[in-house]
Amino acid sequence: MGQYQLGEFEELVLLTVGILYDEAYGVAIKNEMEQRLDRGVSVGALQTALQRLEKKGYLKSQEGAGTQERAGRPKRFYQLTAAGRNALAHSRETRESLWQAIPAAVWNLKTAQ
């Protein structure tokens, strides 16, 4: 299990980078996450996670061309690596295994209101 340890936020960031594919840069990732998750995403938390995931080898990044609308500053685009795809697959398999292990009786329990 230690080989692919992902926190929930890291997993969500990796999934969003995968969804955005060639358009995965900071603002686009933040906007996509906020739209899909219906919750705010801190720029600082996102940048920290992106750096951490790149350090782990799950993402790679490269600068795009600078644009006038960004005062000549380039966007940094992120892409999943093979290790990132493996980490996501491992996470998915682990979660599915846990879901499958829940006894059917759990879903039939009445909860007190």
Measured between alpha carbons, how far is 11 from 60 in angstroms, rounded to an integer?
15
Residue 15 pLDDT exceeds 60 = yes
Q: Which domain holds residue 103?
A: 2-108
| Mean pLDDT value of segment 13-19 | 98
Mean pLDDT in the chain?
91
pLDDT tens by residue, 81-102? 999 999 999 999 999 999 999 9
For the chain, the residue count is: 113
Residue 88: CB partners within 8 Å, gap ≥ 6?
6, 11, 14, 15, 18, 80
30 is a domain residue: yes
Which of 27-41, 46-60, 73-87, 99-113 is predicted with the least confidence, judged by mean pLDDT?
99-113
Please tell me the total count of domains within the chain: 1
113 is a domain residue: no
| φ and ψ at residue 14, rounded to 5 degrees | -60, -45
CB 16 within 8 A of CB 32: yes
Reported pTM: 0.85
Measured between alpha carbons, how far is 75 from 80 in angstroms, rounded to an integer?
17
pLDDT score recorded for residue 25: 95
64 is a domain residue: yes
Residue 3 pLDDT exceeds 70 = yes
